[in-house]
Structure 1
Amino acid sequence: MRAVPPVPGDTPDATLAAFVARATADPGVVGLVLSGSQVHDGMPTARSDHDLHVVLRDRDASPLSELDWFRSAHLDLVVITLAEFRRRGLPGDPDGWCRYAYVHARVLLDRLDGEIATILDRKRTLEEGEARSAAAGALDAYVNQAYRSLKSYRDGRDALGHLDAAESVPYALETVFALHRRVRPYNKYLQWELERRPLGGEEWSAGRLLPVLRRILADGDPHTQRALFGGVERAARAAGHGTVLDSWGADLRLLRPQRQ
């Protein structure tokens, strides 16, 4: 018997409520987790849908497994098994990019005496060793892109330097958030995170960091790139990542703020 798609209600809330009731009545469903803009206070708009993760005991436990990646104007579904949910978004998972979806997610159903909530909590922040590894890898990649960019600017290849500058920004954000044992947010929620859960230090505030990132993305301005690198270098060295930086040797001179 094929799964019937969720029946749309008059509003996204009505559609969600009806599907949650249906899933809750299904013994093969062991957990329901709500994510997306609806779990970020102040972010939903009149066009926002609901992002719901349906956790099954196993693939054969429920016909709802056929609704994985169902999309509508009111409801988006991810249907996964309990085993998949345990590892989804964690290091080594091909879907590691989706981890931020779970940082503020809410449990709507937990039939496993709190296990769904425990698994979810594991995804919310980076463990110490995980954060250290993530920060080191992102830092090295950030230095590489910034160095390539500033070399191109130095050599009069501004357009190419701009491209590398733009590619350095995601690595810079990965580094800064990992240094604070935080999962880098999706760009949509970057300002929300910086304002609601400050990283500490004025240079990482929304009012300071976002204009820096916008300027780098706009034209790759070398002065702005060096200012950002200066802050990242200070934070990385304070967190014990000097070895990663020092492996670049004299090349770091090109990245550091220049004396006028």
Structure 2
Amino acid sequence: MTPTTSAAEEYAALLNRVRRDRRVLGLVLSGSRARDGVATDRSDYDVYLVVEDGAGPLTALSRRDALLDVVVLPLAEFRTHALAGSGTEWNRYAFAHAKVVKDTADGLIGELVAAKGALTREEAAALAPGFLDAFLNSAYRCVKSARDGQVLAAGLDAAEAVPYFLTYVFALHNRVRPYNKYLSWELRHHPLSRPEWSHDHLLPLLAEVLTPSAPVAIRRLFTELEPLARGWGHGAVLDDWGDDLLRLRVGAGVGVPRQPTNSPS
């Protein structure tokens, strides 16, 4: 690599090399370069190379710099990478919308990438109730902290509620929650099924969660979500909260957190 080499040139050189190497079973392009309209002039190429088990020194292809981020995985490891129970579940969205540039003759790499990039109905059904409950827990903590004048705690609880909310909503669609960087792109290019979760409605509401009006925004998220969650069959999760749900509904009476009475003037 020379100081004037571009990311595109480095990627092209890598692609040319691995296309001729039979030990490399697959090349998967992820990140910004795999999502139309996201990449900038500063974007690197995020690449997964799937190699034969026991392929030997191909780990020399691993690389991480400003131009290329190359992860080399033996096929046996790639089969479970990013799936539930692998310890790398955090990386699952990397394979949503990823492009399989090199594949085996039987399309194995493409099948594995497709399985990683979306939830099965069984996975979604197992995940969704727990994340709904986690959202309710953080939302409830937010409004209680606001009631007690705990401004920082209310804001932190509200921010903590957002990943649970998004994971739940995307799971309802058998989809993996996108990384924050790609949330706007995802909602524009692959909209969710409800107007409450459209790009132009949901993103401003999530932005409000990061302001002193966090309790108000959290209540709106919950109030819009509740009838939909019941429609998806998760009423029991909601009802387990009993009368505490009353605090979460719009109009419950606690808005922007008040300052503690003993705060310095």
Q: What is the TM-score of this pair, normalised by structure 1? A: 0.92
Match of 2:10 among 6, 15, 19: 15
Q: Does 1:52 align with 2:47?
A: yes
Q: Does 1:230 align with 2:223?
A: yes
Which amino acid letter does the alignment assign opposite residue 56 of structure 1?
A: V
**Residues 28, 62 of structure 1: 8 Å contact kept:** no
| Deviations 1:142-175 (CA, angstroms, capped at 9, x unpaired) | 1110111111111222221111111111111111
Which amino acid letter does the alignment assign opposite residue 179 of structure 1?
A: L
Superposed counterparts of 1:127-166, under 5 Å: 127-166=120-159
Shift of 1:7: 7.8
**Residues 8, 74 of structure 1: 8 Å contact kept:** no
Question: How far apart are the structure 1 equivalents of 2:56 and 2:179?
Answer: 31
Shift of 1:250: 1.2
Describe the SS at the equivalent of 1:76: strand
Q: Does 1:42 align with 2:46?
A: no
Where does structure 1 differ by over 4 angstroms across 4 or more consecutive aligned residues? 6-9
Q: What is the TM-score of this pair, normalised by structure 2? A: 0.90
Match of 1:177 among 157, 163, 170: 170
Which amino acid letter does the alignment assign opposite residue 143 of structure 1?
A: L
Ranges in structure 1 where 5+ consecutive residues have no aligned partner: 1-5
Describe the SS at the equivalent of 1:218: coil
Shift of 1:205: 0.8
Percent identity over paired residues: 49
**Residues 23, 29 of structure 1: 8 Å contact kept:** yes
Match of 1:198 in 2: 191
Which amino acid letter does the alignment assign opposite residue 130 of structure 1?
A: E
Moved more, 107-116 or 218-227: 218-227
Question: How far apart are the structure 1 equivalents of 2:179 and 2:106?
Answer: 31
| Root mean square deviation, CA, Å | 1.7
Q: Say if 1:248 and 1:184 are closer, same or farther in 2 by CA, change over 3 A.
A: same
Which amino acid letter does the alignment assign opposite residue 115 of structure 1?
A: L
Describe the SS at the equivalent of 2:211: helix
